[in-house]
Amino acid sequence: MRVSVAAVCLALMGLSGTAESQAAVRKATDIPSQGLGLALQSLAKERSFQLVYVSEEVDALNTQGAVGEFTPEEALARLLAGTGLTFKYLNEHTVTILPVAPSTPERERPVNAESGDQRVPRISRPWIVKNVRLASAASAVMFGVAGGPAAAQSAAAPQDLEEVVVTGIRSSLRQAMEIKRDSDQIVDSIASESLGKFPDTNIAESLQRITGVSIDRSGGEGQGVTVRGFGPEFNTVLLNGRRLASDTGARSFNFDVLPAELISRVDVYKSATALLQEGGIGSAILLHTPRPLELGEFKSILSAKALYEDLSENTTPEVFGMISDTFADGRIGLLVSASYQKRENRSERILTDGYLTAPRDDLKLIASDLAAQGYSADDQFFIPQNLNVSPVDEDRERVNVNATFQYQIADNVRLTVDGMYDKFNVYTQANSLGFFVTPSIITNARFDEHRTATSITQTIEAAVDYTRSERDRPTDIYAGGLNLAWDVNDSVNVSLDSSWSRAKSGGAEGTNVAVVGFRKDIYTLSYGPNGIPSVTGVPSADYVDPSLPVAHFNLRGTGGGPLGGGADLEDEIYEHRIEAQWQPESDLLKRVTVGGYYLQEKQSRDTRLSDNEVLCMYCGYFVGIPDNLLRPFSVGSGYLGGRVSVPSAWQTFDIDPLLAYLESPEAASARDAARNLPPGSTLSDLAKSNGFEIHQRPDSSRVEEEVAALYADASLEGSLAQMPWNLTLGARYVRTETTAFGISQALQDLRNSGDPTLYMTVLGDAVTVSQTNKYNDFLPSLSFRLNVTDDVVLRFAASKTLTRPPLGALSPRLVIGTTRPGNLQASSGNPDLKPFKSKNADLSAEWYYQDNGFITVGVFYKEVQNFLVNTVENRALPIADSDNLFAGDPVFEVSLLDNLESATVKGVEIGAQHSFDYLPGFWQGFGLGANATLVDSGAELNVDDVSQTFALEGLGDSYNVVGFYENGPLEVRVAWNRRERFLRTAVGFGGEPTFVEPYQQIDARASLAISDHFSVFAEGVNLGNEIQHRVGRYDNQILLLEETGRRYTIGVRAEF
């Protein structure tokens, strides 16, 4: 016997993400009376499903044909009438032809086999099926599915079924290509190579292979996504069509909280559709997880990895398991997965918080020398705030459990219930060596042509600091959802979807910073032509002498310094949706969808720190600490790959024992004596604040947001000069109501802290304030596709989109920030901020010249309004001034965001993919993919204009090349990615910008199947050991050099 497979993937029916049965569509069918085999193949090609049958049972039979308008089931039944054969669905897109079994009535397949993901806009052909069941035969026949070969093997009984699994790199690329080719929108996708086998170890790192997509990294791992120059807050991320609460404290999403193995496919929608939640000017990113009824019968996966970090020299485990099965004759499905990952990584950093701009006369000790050199009083000099040598050790631990239950209640009703729990803990610690710069004590300096300091010497008042920073990021994410899909009749279906998610991240407890240091040596900071820093003047023995350090700055509740601040974050989202779809019997109008959507989100950010009265209680380097609290810390040689020269060792300590000592009577008495205070004063002040205990601070905030939307979408099809076309028109009307809450504390005084570089802040009682903002928006969208030939597709899309303002910018309160002499800063939220609004246009051409090859060229244009500008106003704040530090009320620079700017963004995306299948033998396994994205905007930063406060952030060209080899049991993939220089922050520390220098990375993966069920693999990340490099306004203003090292993984995978 021979097994025949008719597989023509053409049209996936279903708007709103339902992977519908094609039974819901009745089309004109013209198959005359003829041989049954030919008739079945014609129907499969016309109606887009895969057909499996035993040739000997079919080819000898004739059929009466099927002429008229039929659903696929009706056409199949008519073709098989009187033949003694019937049909049965094996999965969503595969039908087998079998002899009628009289004792077992054939159960009709549901007319709407909903996938559980209700928000995937219609794609006009299904993704290629990976698991195909074939009738057994005595001889095998080769056929192509998803770009890869598969064979039907012989078996004893004609009606026994065996499973042929088509997986691998080519299958993944082919699936992504088919989605792109047949979507009504402009979409790029990444598909798993097999169940639980995503192309990269991190979702974000896979996304960067897509044209127009770049990523940001944390600890060497992909975290945030930028699309077409628009950063994480401008991209909507949906898990199975739903918003997922995030631990970012913003509208962005951190991809490092989810295991890549959990995801079966990612779609990046670059053109808007009315069917998806608004919010993504850059894109909408849809993450899909597998569904048990789609997978069919029992499937199980187990993979185990050992991960080696070459900087930390630690090896840690990673395990993933998944089980899926169906019950009750395929009406009930259950899928459960669990994963565990641990990483112990190190990064080596040189960093500067930022560059201050200081007028000539602020450099008091050298002002006359500068005047003699011809500098005027208005000339601004760029002075580094500090220099930190900061090795960072990080422990990451992630646990994820996911479950999906599906129940086919009736042939036309399906229930899907999802649940997920994700626990992600990141504990980071840094032992830094620091040198702080104060313009008023600089005794000697050199400057380049941009007046950037290239050499700085200060008085002996400049200290050498040892900073111990700890930051805890324990994150728990809970998510649950329920979906009910009902096919009312052949042309109408309704879906209900409700979901909830909550993310909670505790950042205050266990997050601390403390500084000890000494004043003994006069040292010089020097910066070479490329900005690489060095320090001279401090003997190596002083760095490790435990008798020198004395207490300085102490703070619980924030990581400070190189780790940033900590906060307790909570985000909770409720989403509800009802949607109805009508597919009329019309040659022109193919689909109409209408729906309603409601979201309620509550996000809070609680900053809890030590009181201001104690954080700088020991500032000034005048109270010694016991030698036994200190210990040497060594970084050895070759720091940052030998790119910089730094001391090989210095002192460090543990924060808890240090603070316990500083709360003791011994330390308090030493402070009283040093500050000429009455005995017991320090202990009394500490008691008022419960020592260094943390308390809620005024920059704590809460935002409650409600979004209600009505939307409609219609799809039309036709032919123009024998070229099929599709036009999708949609509109979304959205109402947003946001209420922002904040805690405000009035500034009462600035006191002498004992440190000439810092004032002590005294604040009043906390008062809660709130304000509400409402706005309505109408968002139309249009997508047009023209199939010029079977292989050439032209597209045009236009839309209006929006991104709501950052949640953290809405709180209506004034927060006192930096309180240093000559640098008094505060910030205020703005609850009246408007959403960013964009008018978008896309035009693209795609040529699919081989089964797994294409060339695409696209251009895009965005006109965006309401960009935020960080305005700064000088505001005098009245204080008691009990220490007589000011001639009048101190003047603060108060930062306030406002919608003041508009900008255009335009770009070109070019992509290509090619498989060398036509080459003989070994060589046919090779393939290559490449893409480039070039972006441009008139809103770029002119570094020579120090008054410019607005420029588009994140814009940068990017390039990708992926080479792969797949032949038999061997798979190899090597990927290169490069992102060109881009502006990270237009207005950062001291009002100065931050740029990220070009970064490139090479990753590789190889796997070998050692049997039908087992494979081994190895992975390498950042094989070139590239470093991240940030600079200020000019290239020699180095803000960050960071090396995260290479990562290597070996593992084994089992699949049954």
Beta bridge partners of 498: 482, 576
SS3 661: helix
DSSP code string of 10-72: -----STT----GGG--EEEEE-SEEHHHHHHHHHHHHT-EEEEEHHHHTT-EE--EEEEE-H
Rounded Cα–Cα distance for residues 1 and 139 (Å): 6
Q: What is the pLDDT of residue 753?
A: 85
In this model, does residue 946 exceed pLDDT 80? Answer: yes
* Domain boundaries for CATH 2.170.130.10 within the chain: 174-303
Q: What is the pLDDT of residue 630?
A: 95
> Please, are residues 257 and 290 in contact by the beta-carbon 8 Å criterion?
no
> Nearest Cα to 693, choosing from 557, 584, 822?
557
- Give the C-alpha distances (Å, rounded to integers) separating 174 from 132, 932, 1055: 16, 20, 22
Beta bridge partners of 999: 979
Could you count the other beta carbons within 10 Å of the beta carbon of residue 1007?
23
Residue 312: pLDDT band by 50, 70, 90 thresholds? very high
Mean pLDDT of 937-944: 90
> Nearest Cα to 659, choosing from 615, 620, 613?
615
Q: Where does residue 378 rank: exposed (0-12), middle (13-18), buried (19+ CB within 10 A)?
A: exposed
Mean model confidence pLDDT for the chain: 85
- The CATH number assigned to the domain with range 3-126+131-166 reads 3.55.50.30
> Nearest Cα to 852, choosing from 913, 791, 926, 787?
913
Greater confidence (1038 vs 472) lies with 1038
Rounded Cα–Cα distance for residues 524 and 253 (Å): 42
Q: Report the range of poorest mean pLDDT among 60-64, 211-215, 456-460, 521-525.
A: 60-64
> Please, are residues 43 and 66 in contact by the beta-carbon 8 Å criterion?
yes
Rounded Cα–Cα distance for residues 708 and 596 (Å): 8
- DSSP letter (8 states) at residue 153: P
Runs of H (alpha helix) within 507-605: 540-543
In this model, does residue 523 exceed pLDDT 70? Answer: yes
Could you count the other beta carbons within 10 Å of the beta carbon of residue 317?
13
Task: Using a pLDDT cut of 90, give the percent of the chain over it.
Answer: 55
CB-based burial, 787-796: b 16+ in 10 Å, e otherwise: bbeeeebebb
Residue owning tokens 């990523």: 215
> Please, are residues 345 and 314 in contact by the beta-carbon 8 Å criterion?
yes
Q: What is the pLDDT of residue 656?
A: 92
> Please, are residues 535 and 541 in contact by the beta-carbon 8 Å criterion?
no
SS3 per residue for 74-122: HHHHHHHCCCCEEEEEEECCEEEEEECCCCCCCCCCCCCCCCCCCCCCC
Rounded Cα–Cα distance for residues 886 and 318 (Å): 59
Convert the pLDDT of each residue in 539-588 to its tens digit.
999 999 999 999 999 888 764 444 555 678 899 999 999 999 999 988 89
Q: What is the pLDDT of residue 591?
A: 94
SS3 642: helix
- The token duo for 1 is 């016997």
Beta bridge partners of 949: none
SS3 per residue for 805-856: CCHHHCCCCEEEEEEECCEEEEEECCCCCCCEEEEEEEEEEEEEEECCEEEE
Convert the pLDDT of each residue in 188-206 to its tens digit.
998 887 766 777 777 888 8
CATH fold, domain 174-303, is Ferric Hydroxamate Uptake Protein; Chain A, domain 1 (2.170.130)
Q: What is the pLDDT of residue 153?
A: 30
Residue 844: pLDDT band by 50, 70, 90 thresholds? very high
Rounded Cα–Cα distance for residues 288 and 179 (Å): 14
Residue owning tokens 């080459």: 919
Residue 100: pLDDT band by 50, 70, 90 thresholds? low
- Give the C-alpha distances (Å, rounded to integers) separating 86 from 97, 98, 272, 566: 6, 5, 43, 64
| pTM score | 0.79
> Please, are residues 499 and 479 in contact by the beta-carbon 8 Å criterion?
yes
Q: What is the pLDDT of residue 144?
A: 28
> Please, are residues 806 and 251 in contact by the beta-carbon 8 Å criterion?
yes
Q: What is the pLDDT of residue 699?
A: 66
> Please, are residues 494 and 580 in contact by the beta-carbon 8 Å criterion?
yes
Convert the pLDDT of each residue in 152-172 to its tens digit.
332 333 333 333 344 578 888
Nearby residues of 1023 by Cβ (< 8 Å), 6 or more positions away: 1002, 1003, 1004, 1046
Mean pLDDT of 85-93: 74
SS3 per residue for 892-922: EEEEEEEEEEEEEEEEEEEEEEEECCCCCHH
SS3 714: strand
- DSSP letter (8 states) at residue 44: H
Torsion of CA 181, 184, 186, 189, to 10 degrees: -50
In this model, does residue 856 exceed pLDDT 90? Answer: yes
* Domain boundaries for CATH 3.55.50.30 within the chain: 3-126+131-166
Greater confidence (132 vs 283) lies with 283
Phi and psi at residue 160, to the nearest 5°:
-70, 145
Convert the pLDDT of each residue in 650-676 to its tens digit.
999 999 999 999 999 999 999 999 999
> Please, are residues 81 and 66 in contact by the beta-carbon 8 Å criterion?
no
> Please, are residues 233 and 251 in contact by the beta-carbon 8 Å criterion?
yes
Convert the pLDDT of each residue in 68-85 to its tens digit.
778 888 888 888 887 778
Mean pLDDT of 47-57: 71
Helix (H) and strand (E) counts in the chain: 12, 59
Is the sign of the CA dihedral 426, 429, 435, 438 positive or negative? positive
